[in-house]
Amino acid sequence: MVSEEKNIILEARNLSVGYSKKGDDSIVADALNFSIEKGELVGLVGANGIGKSTLLRTLTGMQQALNGEVFLEGKNLREYSPFQLATHLSVVLTEAPASKNMSVSEMVSLGRQPYTNWIGSLSEKDEDTIQSALQATETTALAHRKCFELSDGQMQRVAIARALAQDTPIIILDEPTTHLDIYHRAYVLKLLKKLASEKQKTILFSTHEIDLAIQLTDKMLVMANGETNFESPCKLIEAGRFDSLFPKETIDFDGKTGRFTIRK
């Protein structure tokens, strides 16, 4: 194969994540190695409690890595100030915004904070970015609604719009499809796919929708007991990486359809 031009934007080297309490490290996952290229859509899957959220929290700088390094655009994550990081990486978290009294446009505007002055006044460029973020997520019509009036599906789109308004090359989402119906799950994932391919955003998200992720993502990061694999979905299926994800006596992976079936 002709060597592709590699444009690595997010890289983990021998990373181990977990919690450190009074010098006592409890490692949740270790020996993590992967490098994500610009414009890739990457799904992070694994059983509950395997450390997906912990890994994402570490990658977003909300918690310290126990060991190893994370590189963001070639620079060690530790060297970023919170303010610098805010212009490189935005997040969509599982938690709802603390105040639901905000209007949608106010919430999306908050995404511009890293760029605005101390009284947060919006320039024309800020307004444009906000508008295009609303358009990309089809939330323009909701702009004047209050957050407490929204459905879970709409709320998730608004949360993604806020991250888009932050205008960062990387967006990290923690379980963006939880609590959503099948239509919105597909909608959100398709939206992420579109953002990755059209706007060249690098998107990493954790999910339990393994079958949907297999269909849509460029690469997948599969966390299983003791080992973590990072590859394209097809190669992961070939290598049988999904087979060992869950206990075999309850659930089985069918490599041909890319789906899990319940064992009766």
Q: Which residues bind other proteins (CB under 8 A)?
A: 60, 62, 81-87, 89-91, 93, 95, 97-103, 106-107, 109-111, 113-114, 116, 118-122, 146, 148, 162, 166
Which tokens hold the place of 134? 């609303």
The interaxial angle of helices 182-198 and 124-136, nearest 10 deg, is 130
Say how many C-beta atoms besides its own lie within 10 A of residue 33's C-beta: 12
Using the minimum distance from each CB to other proteins, give the nearer residue, 204 or 214: 204
Which tokens hold the place of 66? 């126990």
Beta-bridge mates of residue 32: 15
φ and ψ of 171, to 5 deg? -125, 130
Using the minimum distance from each CB to other proteins, give the nearer residue, 149 or 227: 149
Using the minimum distance from each CB to other proteins, give the nearer residue, 48 or 121: 121
Least spacing, CB of residue 148 vs other proteins, in Å: 7
**Which stretches does DSSP call E strand in the chain?**
8-21, 24-37, 41-46, 67-72, 75-76, 89-92, 170-173, 202-206, 219-224, 227-231, 251-254, 259-262
**Three-class secondary structure of residue 21 per DSSP:** strand
Least spacing, CB of residue 233 vs other proteins, in Å: 28
Least spacing, CB of residue 187 vs other proteins, in Å: 22
Using the minimum distance from each CB to other proteins, give the nearer residue, 87 or 132: 87
**Three-class secondary structure of residue 39 per DSSP:** coil
- Report the candidate in 54, 92, 73 with the shortest Cα–Cα distance to residue 171: 92
Least spacing, CB of residue 144 vs other proteins, in Å: 9
Using the minimum distance from each CB to other proteins, give the nearer residue, 127 or 254: 127
CA-atom Rg of the chain in angstroms: 19
Using the minimum distance from each CB to other proteins, give the nearer residue, 146 or 199: 146
Least spacing, CB of residue 84 vs other proteins, in Å: 8
Q: List C-alpha distances in Å: 240 to 8, 74, 215, 235.
A: 26, 32, 16, 8
Least spacing, CB of residue 205 vs other proteins, in Å: 15
- Report the candidate in 203, 208, 137, 151 with the shortest Cα–Cα distance to residue 175: 208
Using the minimum distance from each CB to other proteins, give the nearer residue, 130 or 221: 130
Least spacing, CB of residue 118 vs other proteins, in Å: 6
